[in-house]
Structure 1
Amino acid sequence: MKNAVFVYSEEQLKYKFNNNHPFNQFRLKLTLDLLEKCGGIQKEDIIPPRMATDEELELIHDPSYIEAVKQAGNGNLSEDRASSYGLGTEDTPIFPGMHEASAMLVGGTLTAVDYVMSGKALHALNLGGGLHHGFRGKASGFCIYNDSSVAIKYMQKKYNARILYVDTDAHHGDGVQWSFYDDPNVCTFSIHETGRYLFPGTGNVNERGQGKGYGYSFNIPVDAFTEDESWLHAYTTAFREIADFFRPDVIITQNGADSHYYDPLTHLSATMKIYEEIPKLAHELAHQYCEGRWIAVGGGGYDIWRVVPRAWARIWLEMTEYSNISGYLPKEWVDAWQPKSPVELPVTWNDPEGIYPPIPRKPEITEKNLQMVEKALYPIRSNKKSSVSNTQNQ
């Protein structure tokens, strides 16, 4: 059994809306090149994705929507029909071959799933995945098909697994949450910037699931300008308690890298410190509860030069137990890409101190986030208290 596999091929770069769109898969290439130049990955670690079949996509997506995506990519979908499916918008413009490119990203996550669930690898990483805003019959927020939702349904059907989905993107993992909102065998946990200021505007702490799925959806919306310490406290506390409550067979993590201060689309003040810790905890809990079964996908991340490669490389380095890397980035990587980068590239794995001015409302933001954690975990904690008091009364 391999420790970890890295799902990648140049085919994943074909998911491209246009040259000016913030969602830029070139970040995959930058990340892989960073891993190669620091000696963290070998050719035999990399496995190609396959294309998801229509039948697999239909585990989540409506057949008429899949057909519309195919027609759009061939230039045969009217403007009216396109807009009814969320296609041809500013967020998700139509591009040639969009069905094939999107199905390849889903197939990459399914490839990762099969490696882990069939015991060929303990961990698998598909950075081309993580498109968590896609809905059953509608594209949304740069996402055409929702690879994580398809993968979760696929794992349920093929491997009869109980799945914990953890989403650390700055945007709420809405598409995945709503796909399994009434399912007690899928637990979703999203920590994100509050929807008061950021798309998609959902992910309130009171969104807890419905029907049999009530109590299996967890959300921690953190305040704008949240810094490392407060963010990590919320993530660590919640992830540990949720994993202990749900006891999954497998953990799938969505690793959007857009909570960083440099990200142009969000309003959080995290640094590389959180991206060092995010995969460490996922790794630890996968071994504690799931015999190591951990599938990780990419997600958002719009500073593709300074943030995403360093953040995403850390996931692979953690999976392969090479995570104590620090100090300078490989000079060859910086020299190779600086001429192409519109910004000054970082030269170290971690951010230097003081990359932003002090946040004036820090105590207030920290206190607010603490209250959010309390509210989010209240059902677990109150159940624990009542079961302890029941035991004592027997």
Structure 2
Amino acid sequence: MKVKIKFPWRFIDSSYYRSLINYPPKDVKFLGVERSYVKVIDSPKLFTFQKRVKTFLRKTAELIKIPNITFTTTLNFDLIHCAHCLLLNNFPWVVDVEHYWTFSASSNISYSKFGKFIIRKILRKNNCKKILPWTHAAGTTIKDALRDKEINNKIEVVYPAIPAAKLINAVKTKKTTLLFIGRYFYQKGGLFALEVFKKLKQKYDCRCILISLTIPKYLKEKYGDFVEIYDSVSEDVLFNEIYPSSDIFIYPGFSDTFGFSLLEAMSFGIPIVTVDGFARKEIVENGKNGFVIERPNDIRIYRIGKKERKVINEIVEKASILIESSSLRRKMGKYGRMLVEKGRFSIKERNKKLKEIYEEAIRY
């Protein structure tokens, strides 16, 4: 089966599509993008440049007020898989989406009266066979925004997946190693992670690592005595040295619709301490593969006040439990790895569902 992947942007910077293209369902060939074309950016300068270009394009799109609409001029395939976009061709297609608003370049477009009209009209077409939200939380945003039974019947959740990491015998020290990774420093809870690390270093003889493409220079200087801070590391270093030597993953993650670094940590058998939000509890089951801290309303990500301090203290409390119990770390890590190796976030499970969806889409 030949499936063409259509993207609304030329910037393809997502672990979702890299995994999909590199590990396709059996007997499915993806057209429209080469395997090497999908690359997750790890250069601070390139990441900043891309971010600025995306912001410019997003603002331009808001002036036009049109959702992510696309079409194709060639038809040498069986099905089209749209990535966060809407197809105009009269040809069978499915679409994956991480949140309702990502049908457009901006939530201002998707939630506008005109935006909803266009999105609803295209999704209701008979040749739109399936809508594939990444999570149940994402599916709910579509249902709440459009309130359309015909569209609701097309929704089927297909969780993202990554390959299970090859476990290697990394050099382990007696110190417990805690890790935070987040390209968008503040949005991913980087400031909270730094405060957590500072408190834990004062309490335990532990190692703390923070990796972020966008951490401000003054914070590097302020926390440098407590934390090993990196703008970026190569994938080789990350997957062969840092993840294998880490014991606990600290990830507040305030702006995520998903959070692929959570799956990466789980893949290496690392328990997680995180903060609730959107689909977080679909990924981290509290008490099973990590701990989920309840999130207060109106939490600030750029400054630490009383409300934020409470969250930090709760993360420290849960991380302390894991630091003091290697058996609990192993138990939680084992369950998390199972979810990636053969559970709902496994390549096998995702490909099984996608293959069935693709075959059904071209059958009717």
Task: Report the TM range for the smaller structure's normalisation.
Answer: under 0.3
Structure number with greater Rg is 2
TM superposition score normalised by structure 1: 0.25
TM superposition score normalised by structure 2: 0.26
